[in-house]
């Protein structure tokens, strides 16, 4: 019957099928007519049958989107609500003719329907306009999540509520509240008051990026926590917005704040402070029975506060260093026939799984909980890629996909020099938009185990709420499409609706969203005489202002000019001296500026051949090495070429046979990320088709605190081709992160000067 009604509707409206709606996330069906309802501010409403909460939420939505009021006696269009039985779960439809009818299957779908309706209404000079239309909608995935780390930086109850309110407006339904970590315990536990009295506060916080050396600290007491009353308030608030909270209590790793309060639950018993440094720490919860009981008592209180099904117990990044040496842990292994410390971690998680299952809840943990064997009822949150999720789903366990490649909103979203400091990585809006929680490699029969996806917002480098919003918006809108839409509209269609309708709305809601989307995109390519860049943007015909300065022989010359999008600017190889250029590209749409520096040498834009292939994860192309732009700090994936082999051979064709004076090559060091300077470097030149030894091997010597090291190697040979041979350390030395593994070698830039 419903199908017939729908077909009839399509026929009488004489509609074409693929219309783009202004709604984000885009609905399953959207059909519009060339007629509109116009009204001046009031809607005649019939709330009969709606819960009090729904009535309140709908009234609130009407006010925040358009300042629209409801009345029982208005002359404006009539809006009515109809609850339908026996229809798809959480589905709704909106029918706008001479009046507005919202049909829904559940309270949440009524809430979502009304949000969609608000997004359809346009403001005109005399009031409001609503196109006559039909919308039919339901979500693709049941887990549509956003996470927030409140340990590294603390956010107030009001800020958390704003976070929840906004996410609900984009039809997210799961808030993952990361409440505990090494740098702060943020949830009051009545049985263990020291968790917040001591664990809620740190004495210092590191400055700058982790990789910046030497490290410095701000020595201020920093912290905070939520009382149980506040947590109840947030849970009730989320509930009113149809958002379920998944609390995370990290174990056995990321537990330094808890251990600062109760060191007796560590392996060593040694009292240490709450951490002020970011990273992964060796001191984790000991696996002895006393710790298990301590954590279960904590979970008892957590369960009482959070009514949702899932309780997150972390499980990620737990080094086994202490467990290997701890008599208590070794005893637990022996008594339970566990072969190694991974199995011990699995045992630890199984104890929590059993406990939570008995209490009618479900354990969820990061994908490391697969190591040593996945506990029988556990759900998995796959963050180190899709693989963990595929493995868990193939074992018929529930999975939430949050791969770093698409879902880490602590990564950079743009390449511009104006982007604020981020942990690293590069996850622009387009990349988030591409996200599909169901990877190709998953056997179809296991697809139902993928509940959905989520973005994670780790806050090491996000110290205030404005920046949280900057990192989350508008990327969350791209994610909402990926998690909601049966079929996503094209990225460009999404971007147009985003810019046209949703960024203005976010502005009205005082959301400090990122304007990265307006920054010009600079695309680099080789040119005949060096390199060139094209300025690209989606805004048709945008004009950019470019300011450049050129430093040659200590003389500065400056230029200012306008360019149209798609115009290209060439920078030539330097025939003699090194020439330094600085460019500032300013978008006229907003005042953001992208700046870059270029050093033009004889190798600018020269063909580079990787005899040894870089790692696919750190290969932004061969031009990166010779584009005149030196990899910056904190390092970004796209600026450095990364190798995971001990020998690296790179050939450069300088296009002209002549005598070159010197070759410069720069390397990166970041021990925490297993990136080390190489051991030695050697250079060859091509003569009569044969590689001849030119210089080296030059041994590396450097200071521990150096982060970038540039090497100068003498050439002084007439040649057109050079071969650079680099030898890394065979393994990372003991005592350093990743000891025993092959280190990464990161290179940028290679320059040849005449």
Which spans of this chain sit near ligand ACM (rule: CB under 6 A)?
Answer: 316-317, 366, 383
Question: Least distance from C-beta 657 to ligand ACM, angstroms?
Answer: 51
CB-wise, 398 or 460, nearer to ligand ACM? 460
Q: Which residue has tokens 């104006």?
A: 418
- Three-state SS string across 380-407, please? EEECCCCHHHHHHHHCCCCEEECCHHHH
Q: Is residue 254 annotated as part of the catalytic site, yes or no?
A: yes
Helix or strand run (H / E) with residue 721:
strand 708-727
Determine, following the binding rule CB under 5 A, whether residue 326 of this chain makes contact with Zn ion: yes
Provide the CA 346 distance to its chain's centre, in angstroms: 28
In sequence order, which residues have a C-beta less than 8 Å from that of residue 113 and are 6 or more positions away?
Answer: 92, 93, 94, 102, 103, 104, 135, 137
CB-wise, 316 or 547, nearer to ligand ACM? 316
Question: Least distance from C-beta 317 to ligand ACM, angstroms?
Answer: 5
Q: Which of 624, 738, 643 is nearest to 681 (CA)?
A: 643
Question: Least distance from C-beta 676 to ligand ACM, angstroms?
Answer: 23
Give yes or no for a cis peptide into 25 (omega within 30° of 0).
yes
Q: How far apart are the C-alpha atoms of 115 and 109, rounded to whole Å?
A: 10
Q: Is residue 334 annotated as part of the catalytic site, yes or no?
A: no
Query: Where are the strands (E) in 66-215, listed by range?
Result: 69-71, 78-83, 92-96, 100-104, 122-124, 127-137, 143-149, 174-178, 180-181, 184-185, 201-202, 205-206
Q: How far apart are the C-alpha atoms of 271 and 263, rounded to whole Å?
A: 5
The tokens of 10 are what? Answer: 């399509």
Q: Side-chain half-sphere of 746: how many Cα atoms within 13 Å?
A: 24
CB-wise, 210 or 383, nearer to ligand ACM? 383
Check if the beta carbon of residue 630 is closer than 8 Å to that of residue 734: no
Chosen residue from 234, 286, 363, 497 binding Zn ion by CB under 5 A: 286
Q: Is residue 158 annotated as part of the catalytic site, yes or no?
A: no
CB-wise, 198 or 455, nearer to ligand ACM? 455
Provide the CA 53 distance to its chain's centre, in angstroms: 33
Provide the CA 546 distance to its chain's centre, in angstroms: 31
Question: Least distance from C-beta 265 to ligand ACM, angstroms?
Answer: 21
Helix or strand run (H / E) with residue 302:
helix 289-305
Chosen residue from 329, 482, 694, 750 binding Zn ion by CB under 5 A: 329
Q: Which does 329 bind (CB under 5 to 8 A by kind): ligand ACM, Zn ion, none?
A: Zn ion
Q: Which does 267 bind (CB under 5 to 8 A by kind): ligand ACM, Zn ion, none?
A: Zn ion
Provide the CA 246 distance to its chain's centre, in angstroms: 19
Q: What are phi and psi of 52, to 5 degrees?
A: -60, -40
CB-wise, 458 or 484, nearer to ligand ACM? 458
Q: Which does 326 bind (CB under 5 to 8 A by kind): Zn ion, ligand ACM, none?
A: Zn ion
Helix or strand run (H / E) with residue 580:
strand 579-587
Q: How far apart are the C-alpha atoms of 433 and 436, rounded to whole Å?
A: 8
Q: Which does 348 bind (CB under 5 to 8 A by kind): Zn ion, ligand ACM, none?
A: none
Question: Least distance from C-beta 366 to ligand ACM, angstroms?
Answer: 5
**Candidates 42, 137, 149, 181; catalytic one:** 181
Q: Which does 317 bind (CB under 5 to 8 A by kind): Zn ion, ligand ACM, none?
A: ligand ACM
Question: Least distance from C-beta 709 to Zn ion, angstroms?
Answer: 40
How many CB atoms neighbour CB 350 within 10 A? Answer: 21
Q: Which residue has tokens 């560590």?
A: 266
In sequence order, which residues have a C-beta less than 8 Å from that of residue 505 and are 6 or more positions away?
Answer: 65, 119
Count residues contacting Zn ion (CB under 5 A)? Answer: 5
From its phi and psi, is residue 621 left (phi > 0), alpha (psi between -120 and 50) or beta? left
Q: How far apart are the C-alpha atoms of 754 and 716, rounded to whole Å?
A: 9
In sequence order, which residues have a C-beta less than 8 Å from that of residue 203 and are 6 or more positions away?
Answer: 219, 220, 221, 273, 274, 276
Question: Least distance from C-beta 740 to Zn ion, angstroms?
Answer: 23
CB-wise, 403 or 605, nearer to ligand ACM? 403
Q: Which does 694 bind (CB under 5 to 8 A by kind): Zn ion, ligand ACM, none?
A: none
Q: Which residue has tokens 């994936």?
A: 637
Question: Least distance from C-beta 254 to ligand ACM, angstroms?
Answer: 8
Give yes or no for a cis peptide into 749 (omega within 30° of 0).
yes
Q: Which does 111 bind (CB under 5 to 8 A by kind): Zn ion, ligand ACM, none?
A: none
Q: Which does 177 bind (CB under 5 to 8 A by kind): Zn ion, ligand ACM, none?
A: none
Query: Where are the strands (E) in 236-345, listed by range?
Result: 244-251, 310-314
**Candidates 107, 122, 165, 317; catalytic one:** 317
CB-wise, 251 or 585, nearer to Zn ion? 251
**Candidates 254, 312, 502, 630; catalytic one:** 254
CB-wise, 263 or 634, nearer to ligand ACM? 634
Question: Least distance from C-beta 63 to ligand ACM, angstroms?
Answer: 38
Question: Least distance from C-beta 349 to Zn ion, angstroms?
Answer: 16
Which single residue brings its beta carbon nearest to ligand ACM? 316
The tokens of 129 are what? Answer: 């306009």
How many CB atoms neighbour CB 72 within 10 A? Answer: 8
Give yes or no for a cis peptide into 634 (omega within 30° of 0).
yes
DSSP state of 193: T
Question: Least distance from C-beta 616 to Zn ion, angstroms?
Answer: 39
CB-wise, 286 or 455, nearer to Zn ion? 286
In sequence order, which residues have a C-beta less than 8 Å from that of residue 539 and are 6 or more positions away?
Answer: 518, 565, 589
Q: Which of 674, 649, 670, 662 is nearest to 724 (CA)?
A: 649
Residue span binding Zn ion (CB under 5 A) among the ranges 150-158, 221-229, 264-272, 639-647: 264-272
Q: Which of 375, 403, 373 is nearest to 389 (CA)?
A: 403
- Greatest C-alpha distance within the chain: 94
Question: Least distance from C-beta 480 to ligand ACM, angstroms?
Answer: 21
Q: Which does 286 bind (CB under 5 to 8 A by kind): ligand ACM, Zn ion, none?
A: Zn ion
Q: Which does 328 bind (CB under 5 to 8 A by kind): Zn ion, ligand ACM, none?
A: Zn ion
Helix count (H) and strand count (E) of the chain? Answer: 18, 36
CB-wise, 178 or 351, nearer to ligand ACM? 178
CB-wise, 403 or 489, nearer to ligand ACM? 403
Check if the beta carbon of residue 662 is closer than 8 Å to that of residue 750: no
CB-wise, 329 or 753, nearer to Zn ion? 329
Q: How far apart are the C-alpha atoms of 579 and 583, rounded to whole Å?
A: 13
Q: How far apart are the C-alpha atoms of 398 and 246, rounded to whole Å?
A: 15
Chosen residue from 74, 204, 328, 638 binding Zn ion by CB under 5 A: 328
> Would you please indicate which residues are annotated as catalytic (active-site) residues?
181, 254, 317
Chain residues that interact with Zn ion, rule: CB under 5 A: 267, 286, 326, 328-329
């Amino acid at each position: 019957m419903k199908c017939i009604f729908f077909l009839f509707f399509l026929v009488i409206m004489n509609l074409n099928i693929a219309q783009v709606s202004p709604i984000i996330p885009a609905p399953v069906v959207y059909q519009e007519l060339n007629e509109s309802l116009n009204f001046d501010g009031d809607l005649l409403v019939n709330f009969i049958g709606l819960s009090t909460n729904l009535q309140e939420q709908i009234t609130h939505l009407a006010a925040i989107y358009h300042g629209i009021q409801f009345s029982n006696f208005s002359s404006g269009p009539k809006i009515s609500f109809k609850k339908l039985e026996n229809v798809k779960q959480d589905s709704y439809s909106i029918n706008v003719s001479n009046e507005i009818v919202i049909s829904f299957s559940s309270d949440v779908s009524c809430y979502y329907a009304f949000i969609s309706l608000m997004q359809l209404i346009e403001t005109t000079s005399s009031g409001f306009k609503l196109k006559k239309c039909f919308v039919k909608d339901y979500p693709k995935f049941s887990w549509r999540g956003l996470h927030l780390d409140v340990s590294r930086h603390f956010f107030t109850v009001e800020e958390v509520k704003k976070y929840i309110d906004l996410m609900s407006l984009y039809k997210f339904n799961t808030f993952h509240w990361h409440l505990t970590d090494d740098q702060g315990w943020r949830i009051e536990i009545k049985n263990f008051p020291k968790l917040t009295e001591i664990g809620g506060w740190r004495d210092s916080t590191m400055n700058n990026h982790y990789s910046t050396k030497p490290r410095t600290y701000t020595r201020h007491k920093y912290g905070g926590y939520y009382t149980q009353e506040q947590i109840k308030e947030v849970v009730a608030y989320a509930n009113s917005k149809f958002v379920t909270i998944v609390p995370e209590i990290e174990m056995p790793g990321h537990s330094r704040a808890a251990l600062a309060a109760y060191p007796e639950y560590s392996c060593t018993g040694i009292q240490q402070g709450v951490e002020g440094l970011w990273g992964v720490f060796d001191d984790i919860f000991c696996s002895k029975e006393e710790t298990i009981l301590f954590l279960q008592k904590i979970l008892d209180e957590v369960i009482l506060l959070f009514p949702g099904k899932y309780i997150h117990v972390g499980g990620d990044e737990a080094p086994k260093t202490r467990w290997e040496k701890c008599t208590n842990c070794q005893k637990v292994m022996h008594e339970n026939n566990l072969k190694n410390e991974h199995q011990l971690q699995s045992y630890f998680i199984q104890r929590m799984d059993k406990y939570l299952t008995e209490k009618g809840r479900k354990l969820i943990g990061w994908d490391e909980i697969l190591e040593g064997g996945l506990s029988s009822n556990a759900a998995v949150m796959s963050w180190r890629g899709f693989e963990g999720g595929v493995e868990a789903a193939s074992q018929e366990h529930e999975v939430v996909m949050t791969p770093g490649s698409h879902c880490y909103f602590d990564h950079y979203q743009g390449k511009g020099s104006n982007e604020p400091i981020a942990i690293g990585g590069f996850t622009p809006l387009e990349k988030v938009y591409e996200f599909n929680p169901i990877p190709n490699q998953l056997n179809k029969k296991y697809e139902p185990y993928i509940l959905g996806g989520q973005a994670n917002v780790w806050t090491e480098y996000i110290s205030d709420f404005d920046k949280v919003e900057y990192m989350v918006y508008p990327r969350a809108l791209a994610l909402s499409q990926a998690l909601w839409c049966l079929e996503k509209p094209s990225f460009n269609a999404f971007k147009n609706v985003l810019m046209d309708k949703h960024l203005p709305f976010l502005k009205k809601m005082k959301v400090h969203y990122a304007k990265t989307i307006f920054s010009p995109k600079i695309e680099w390519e080789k040119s005949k005489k060096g390199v060139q860049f094209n300025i690209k943007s989606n805004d048709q015909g945008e004009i950019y202002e470019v300011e450049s300065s050129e430093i040659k022989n200590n003389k500065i010359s400056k230029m200012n000019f306008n360019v149209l999008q798609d115009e290209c600017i060439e920078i030539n190889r330097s025939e003699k001296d090194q020439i330094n250029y600085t460019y500032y590209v300013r978008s006229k749409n907003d005042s953001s500026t992208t700046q870059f520096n270029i050093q033009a040498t004889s190798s600018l834009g020269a063909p580079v051949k990787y005899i040894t292939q870089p790692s696919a994860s750190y290969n932004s192309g061969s031009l990166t090495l010779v584009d005149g732009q030196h990899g910056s700090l904190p390092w970004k994936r796209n600026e450095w070429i990364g190798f995971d082999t001990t020998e690296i051979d790179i050939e450069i064709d300088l296009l002209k046979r002549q005598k070159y004076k010197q070759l410069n090559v720069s390397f990166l060091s970041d021990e925490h990320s297993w990136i080390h300077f190489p051991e030695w470097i050697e250079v060859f030149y091509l003569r009569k088709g044969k590689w001849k030894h030119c210089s080296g091997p030059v041994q590396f010597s450097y200071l521990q605190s150096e982060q970038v090291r540039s090497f100068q190697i003498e050439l002084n040979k007439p040649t057109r081709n050079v071969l650079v041979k680099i030898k890394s350390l065979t393994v990372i030395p003991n005592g350093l992160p990743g000891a025993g593994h092959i280190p990464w070698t990161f290179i940028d830039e290679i320059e040849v000067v005449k």
